[in-house]
Every structure is written in C-alpha cells, then in structure tokens.
Structure 1
C-alpha cells in the first residue's frame, strides 16, 4: 500500500500504532466470540412454535418442559419459565417471564459495550497520533530555523496521517459489527416477546374451549388459533409493542 509494506507503514505511524494494533486484535476477538455465542444460542423459532402448537393440542406440555428444562438457550429458558407458571396468576407469571427474559437478553448484550468503546476510541487514538505527528513535524521545522523543503514537510504530515487512517480502518468494521450484533440481540428479544404473547393467546384459547365444551381435550379452536398466529408472528410483535406504548 502506497509503495510500502505493512511493516514499514506501521513503523512510520509511530508509537500510537501499538495501542491501535491491540485494539484491532481485541475487536477481532470480541466479534468472533460473539458470533460463536450467538450461533450456539440460536433456536429454530418456527420449529419451536410448531412444537408448542402440537403440545398444546395433545396436552403434553409437561413433557416439553422436561425436555427443554436442561437447555441453556435463551428462548427455551423463557418458554420453560412460562410453562412452569402457566397456572399461576397472570401478573405473577408475567413477572417471572420478564425476569427470565431480561437475564437472557443480558447474555446477548454481554461484551457488546466493549465493541462500542472500540468504535469510538480507535478514531480518537488515530487522531491523537496524527496531532502528535504534526507537532513533531513542526518542531523539526522550528529546529531547522524554517529552512525546510516542501517535501520534508509533506513527509512528516504523511506519516502523521497514517494513524488516523489506521484508526478509521479499525473503527468502521467495529461499527458495522456492533450494529449487526445489536440487531441479532434485538431480534432474539422480540422472539421472546412473541413466544410469550403467543402462549398467552393459545393457552387462553384452550381454556375458553374447555370451559365452553366441558371437555379438557377440546382444543380444536385453540389449534386453529395457533396456526393463524404461526403464519404471522410479526403481528404478535407489533401488538406487543403497541400495548407497551399504551
């Protein structure tokens, strides 16, 4: 690049290049760690909804709780928290689900603040290196009594600007990764809201059906409702958010 190797550019950038190098290594490690964690926490959302629907229809929610009870995936933890308290008062159940969801969302947000700090810190470090380099360049001009060639001044400025370029080169991918990871975390939080809202809808429908028919196995109306909500999970999210605003 610019007729010089990466090593030569690093040396010309001065001492500020070392903390910038450390920031770049830390950023790569943070992004890689978050991607691995997010992949491990991911759940097939639509498959989970289908499983919940069939369990509600055949009355085997207890088996589902036993199967998911040992899972550490956030969406599974929220579902288990809901189902274990499905017969409790709604206000209490909502508190339990909200507490569990908050703990699970925190797992997604963990260490993202460090990536945000790097996004803001690396351009400032680069600017610091540029300012320090310019101070050194003009100090050399002063020592020479102002008798310098334009090429000498350009060389000093060129070297000083390298740190700004390096800082921005690190900050831009960090910024993109930060917002991408935030969107993944936000999507996971919405899925927790959606599944809790859908369980409210399905189980209340099943209870109404039982009361109307007097048959604990009568769940056909709740099954139809399940299928309707499964096709349009986004409606649940919009309804949940609008209720929150009100």
Structure 2
C-alpha cells in the first residue's frame, strides 16, 4: 500500500489498467474455453454442439435449398466472421492498455522528476539527497509499475490472439467440409 501512495496518481491508474486488462484476459479465455468443447472433431461437423452446430445447420439448409457454391462460400465467411468477432471482444482495449502502460509509467517518471527539480529550485544550494528522494522514488516506481503492467498484458494479448487464430482455422476447416470446399482453395 505504501508503494501505491508513494507512486501517486499514475500508479493508481496503472493498477486500474491491470485490473481492467486482466479482467479482459480472463473473460476472453473463459469464452474460448467454453467454446472449445463445441465440437469433438472439426472434420466431422455432425459431432458439433452449440454455436458450431447452428453454423453447420444453417450452411446445410442453405446447401440443400440449392444455393450455389459462391453464395455458400459468402454465407460461410459471414458466419465464421461473426463467430470469431465474439472471441475478439476486448482485445483492442487490451492492446491499448498494454501499449500505453509504459507511457503512463514514463509520464509518472516525468512528474517525479519535475517534483525533484522543484525541490532543487526551492532549496537552492542547500538541497540534500533526502529532499530529492521522494521525487526520484516516484519517478522510478511509476516506470517499474508501467512495465510490470505492460509486459504480462502483452504476453496474454498475443497468447489470446494465437488461440483465436487456431480456433478460427479449426472452424474454417470444419465449415469447408460442410460446404464441400477444399481447404487449400482458400475460398472462405
């Protein structure tokens, strides 16, 4: 608690960054975990459940109604995009938090150094190291906290993006089976 008080407003803002960022990480991971059990084999759409099943049923109905291959491909792309957007919710905010946390730490550094130089200005030649310590402490602390918040958030952001990309590919493969489109064609 002493660190938060000595770090000033910037440190409190970085704590808020951390809370919001990790809430997004947990939420996104739980969405992926919940959906992970939606199919047992992406190459066998008949084994799917939940939203996967709904996507496959819509495509099957569209195919049975005589929809041409190009229209099926467009429908499949729209369904996949809609499904994947759900998992990307919050990732832009997470990216902003992770990328601006070091800048917030730098702002705290500047504020701390301004505080230290104010002491020098007011005390003149009679300044001692203890008088400067508060501003320098704040400067270094906010830099450290900014980096300590940014690094894990960036790690989790990239890990989530990788998991979503894998999820997207698995759905793409399964959908290509439903509409009888070879995966190599990159048609979807």
Q: TM-score, normalised by structure 2?
A: 0.86
Verify: 1:117 aligned to 2:111, yes or no.
Answer: no
The CA RMSD over aligned residues, in Å, is: 2.4
**Runs of 4+ that moved beyond 6 A:** none
CA contact (8 A) 1:193 1:240 kept: no
* Residue of structure 1 equivalent to 2:10: 16
* Residue of structure 1 equivalent to 2:53: 76
Q: TM-score, normalised by structure 1?
A: 0.68
CA contact (8 A) 2:21 2:153 kept: yes
* Residue of structure 1 equivalent to 2:148: 169
Q: State the 1:50 CA deviation.
A: 4.0
Matched residue of 1:47: which SS?
coil
Distance 1:25 1:51 in 2: 38
Distance 2:144 2:162 in 1: 28
Q: 1:194 to 1:99 in 2, by over 3 A?
A: same
Question: Which runs of no fewer than 5 residues in structure 1 stay unpaired?
Answer: 1-6, 53-63, 205-235
**Could you say which structure has the greater relative contact order, defined with CA pairs below 8 angstroms and 6 or more residues apart?**
2
**Could you tell me which of 21, 28, 31 is aligned with 1:34?**
28
Matched residue of 2:41: which SS?
helix
CA contact (8 A) 1:78 1:192 kept: no
Distance 1:77 1:165 in 2: 48
Larger Rg: 1
* Residue of structure 1 equivalent to 2:172: 193
The farther-off stretch of 149-158 and 164-173 is 149-158
Verify: 1:145 aligned to 2:139, yes or no.
Answer: no
Matched residue of 2:43: which SS?
helix
CA contact (8 A) 2:112 2:137 kept: no
CA contact (8 A) 2:112 2:138 kept: yes
